[in-house]
Amino acid sequence: MSLLRQSRNILSNLKAKSLAKRLMHFKFEPDNPSTNLGPTENMNYLKALTNAMDISLENDPTAIIFGEDVAFGGVFRCTVGLREKYGSDRVFNTPLCEQGIVGFGIGAAVAGSTAIAEIQFADYILPAFDQIVNEAAKYRYRSGGLFECGKLTIRTPCGAVGHGALYHSQTPEAYFAHSTGLKVVIPRSPIQAKGLLLACIRDDNPCIFLEPKILYRAAEEEVPVGDYTLPLSQAEVLREGSDVTLIGYGTQIHVLKEVAELAAKDGISCEVIDLVTILPWDADTVCTSVSKTGRCVITHESPVTGGFAGEVAATIQKECFLNLEAPVERVCGYDTPFPHVLEPFFMPDKWRCLQAVKNVVNY
Amino acid sequence: MRHFIKFGKPYLHTRSLLRGNSGLQTCTHVAKSTGVQDVSKSDGNSFIGMPHNYVTKLEFLEPKMENTIPVYQVLDSDGKIIDETQDPKLSDEIVLKMYKDMKMLNIMDGIMYSAQRQGRISFYMTNYGEEAAHIGSAAALEMKDLVFAQYREAGVLMWRGFRLDQFMDQCYANINDPASGKQMPVHYGSKDLNFVTISSPLATQMPQAAGAAYALKRTNPGTCVICYFGEGAASEGDAHAAFNFAATLDAPCIFFCRNNGYAISTPAHEQYRGDGIASRGSGYGMLTIRVDGNDTLAVYNATRKARQIALEESRPVLIEAMTYRVGDHSTSDDSSTYRTAGELEYWTKTNNPVTRFERYITNERNCWSAEEDEKLSKDCSKQVIEAFTAAEKRLKPSPSLVFTDVYDELPVNLKKQQKQMREHVGAHSQHYPLKRHEPL
Ligand SMILES: Cc1ncc(C[n+]2csc(CCOP(=O)(O)OP(=O)(O)O)c2C)c(N)n1
Ligand SMILES: [Mg+2]
């Protein structure tokens, strides 16, 4: 392709007044793995996921992994090496059709296989909405447990990356939060990604596993190499504090941890809670914390209206009403689609979250 | 028969023997009568109005894979017209515009691809290898025809007159982008050029194209719709809906499949087991043709005839253009991990649509020369660089525009959020990339 070479030369003569490389809007701080989970290895979020799938394929001969471009390792490289190791009947490409991928996965699960489906981007899970909401979520209920598809796990990359715009940035947790019968999980780190993916795969309910794709390479830490699961529907208190409870999940956890640091400099003590599971969610941990602090800020990237923060806020106002010192604040995406070059102004970044912390403290 | 424009007939319908009355004389297409018979006349040989033949031998139909749907060609690899009756007799002016647009498309792709590699734009998709499919089809349509495209059809826009600065402004997401930098690069759109803005979710444009064709038939007779899609996108449920709606509702829609061999890393043979996309046409009761997508004149003839049929007979037509995605899927892809250099070499050197057309205009038409070609390359580069430099210098849109075009006008909640955003960004301006943008 001499044309390409030629244009590269032309361009290198032009002074590179390129886009100021957008800084990531958060810092990833590694967690320490629990000491009783055995030896560890440095893994990024991607490797941790691959490792979890490797363990599943190894231990469960019925397990299959499929989706668009999965065979060569996936567009994000999550399934690299698995086809070579376990065979093309266990790790394979499907035709390009999300409703097909999920419907096929439900069928495989109904027939007793462990089905791990990949939807290439969470933005493209919507053609499968009917299969997920009307089928997967209601299979057990409508048959009185005669048939169910609990062996289905749907993995999908989600969330903002800085330049994904309308269709490579969304997190559809709120749509699925409205569909009881599903479990919806969003891990914040490699350790969580592995333990929670294994938990979802083994859980007897269909799970939607949302992977904030900006963390795939940005998040790296020591991950236990053995087989372990982490509990679903259990929130995690990451930092204890007395003035304000900060609640989030996925990438926003890393934003909130930094907000807590910044607030501490102003003498505000923040408790940070990672919800981890969106459905069914752990209201007890949240309400215990808010009853203690009396103030709370909830955040997610998805648009504020109809977002999951609304559900959390409603529960808090009922359970913690007499302990509240200020109205519950939500810091979320605005009620617009994800904009491309305007994304920095749309995001519920640390500056917006910090402002909300100050608002509830000064109420 | 290989060199005749032959639209495969659906088997099911009984058709009258009226000949199509215009277009290329060798066309073997027979105009349709309504296939459905009077239901009230149902007898033992029909089922709710559709003819039925009974047989007493137990026999399953095998897909006909040894005798696949043929590929219509006009030009051989040297750029010679194989069968003179198939010469569309285009003027020098038209064939030169076709060629120049292909060349410009190539050069724009080269520069934008490199721009992405240098971090000047966030993303890009090249059109290498599919130039003939874009330009051949675009040239066969009327400007009033409405285009629903997928994303890899920049040549169609170029043919219609989308200017370099418009391409660049969209990719740079600057103030001149009509969508105010809301979409990723290559998501072009133009109201003036009747080109509906690209959307990333695959195949969604397909049933929309059927609906648009249906509506235009009623309100703007003589206007048709063309819908471009990849062989990968054709696996989506929306593709089925589109074909079936257009066929049953008699919508004048040309479904133009760019079968370029891959959907990202997935080769076409993992996308379907039948005879490509063309074999589906008959199942939906659609006229269908498979063309050599790297043969500009074959694509032109097929699209021209398809347009005529779609409009005269009010029905959809399916074209499957066999081509090859020479570039990586996008700047996020590295295709060397799933295909061989040898395969690529065949499609860049031996079966290159631009080279074939260049041979046609240079050797057969004698209206082009190597010197002119060299000069054209230089001119194109110069023009692209100029447009590119200007687009790079332009400011990005005002942050306030995050909220526009969600609705026709800003509802109260968005006005409130817009105000909050302005106040917040204003108060913390040091943390936001305001310098690159128009004021808040
Ligand atoms: C609904 C949906 N699913 C998945 C994707 C991700 N994706 C973008 S392009 C692409 C491949 C499309 O292949 P094809 O239709 O053959 O077009 P080509 O890229 O070859 O021109 C995929 C899977 C998407 N954009 N939309
Ligand atoms: Mg393709």
Residues B57 and B89 in one domain: no
Give tens-digit pLDDT for B141-155: 999 999 999 999 999
Chain A residues in contact with B104 (beta carbon < 8 A): none
| Mean pLDDT of the B318-340 span | 97
Same domain, B48 and B81: no
The verdict on the CB of residue B263 being under 6 Å from ligand 1 is yes
Same domain for B155 and B24? no
Would you state the pLDDT for residue B4? 53
- Kindly state the average pLDDT of the residues B254-273: 98
- Domain ranges, residue B404: 399-436
Model pLDDT, residue A91: 98
Identify the pLDDT of residue B179.
97
Domain ranges for chain A, please list them: 35-224, 236-361
Can you give the pLDDT at residue A8? 64
**CB–CB of B403 and A334 under 8 A?**
yes
Residues B197 and B243 in one domain: yes
Contact B325 CB / ligand 1 (< 6 Å): yes
Q: What number does CATH give the domain A236-361?
A: 3.40.50.920
| Residues B183 and B233 grouped into a single domain | yes
Together in a domain, B372 and B428: no
> Do B260 and B275 lie in a common domain?
yes
For the stretch B400-430, pLDDT in tens is 999 999 999 999 999 999 999 999 999 999 9
Tell me the mean pLDDT in the region B263-286. Answer: 97
> Which residues, chain by chain, have CB under 5 Å from ion ligand 2?
B 230-232, 260, 263
Q: Is residue B2 part of a domain?
A: no
Pocket mutation for ligand 1, best pick of B152, B184, B202, B322 (most atoms within 8 Å of C-beta) = B202
B49: pLDDT confidence band, cut at 50, 70 and 90?
confident
Whether residue B240 sits in one domain with residue B146: yes
pLDDT at B32 over 70: no
3-state secondary structure of A92: strand
User: What SS3 class is residue B232?
Assistant: coil
CB of residue A156 inside a 6 A radius of ligand 1: no
The count of other CB atoms within 10 Å of the CB of residue B208 is 17
Q: Which phi and psi (to 5°) does residue A93 adopt?
A: -75, 145
pLDDT bucket at B7, cuts 50 / 70 / 90: confident
- Mean pLDDT of all residues belonging to chain B: 92
* Counted domains in chain B: 3
Same-domain check for residues B350 and B368: yes
Which parts of chain A sit beneath pLDDT 70?
Answer: 1-23
pLDDT, position B25: 43
Are B115 and B163 part of one and the same domain?
yes
- Count other Cβ atoms within 10 Å, centred on residue B432: 18
User: Which of B4-13, B209-218, B298-307 has the least mean pLDDT?
Assistant: B4-13
Which residue intervals of B85-178 are DSSP H helices? 92-117, 131-139, 154-160, 164-172
| Measured CA distances, A320 to A291, A299, A314, A358 (Å) | 5, 19, 10, 20
Q: Which has more pLDDT, A324 or B19? A: A324
Overall fold of domain A35-224:
Rossmann fold (3.40.50)
Tell me the pTM: 0.94
How many residues in chain A? 363
pLDDT digits (tens, 9 = 90+) for B62-112: 887 788 999 999 999 999 999 999 999 999 999 999 999 999 999 999 999
Longest distance between any two alpha carbons in chain A, whole Å: 72
Residue the block writes with tokens 């991990």? B337
> Which tokens is B330 given?
């996008």
Tokens of A129: 């909405």
Rounded distance, CA A110 to CA B282, Å? 34
Instruction: Give phi and psi for A70, each to the nearest 5.
Output: -70, -35
Cα(B58) to ligand 2 centroid in Å equals 38
Mean pLDDT computed over B213-232 = 98
Q: Do residues B125 and B83 share a domain?
A: yes
- Residue B331 clears pLDDT 50, i.e. is over it: yes
CATH value at residue B374: 3.40.50.970
Residue B5 is assigned to a structural domain of this protein: no
Q: Kindly determine whether residue A100 and residue B403, on different chains, have CB atoms separated by under 8 Å.
A: no
On the question of pLDDT at B20 being above 80, the answer is no
- Please tell me whether residues B383 and B428 are part of one structural domain: no
Q: What is the pLDDT of residue B62?
A: 84
Lowest mean pLDDT among A124-133, B46-55, B237-246: B46-55
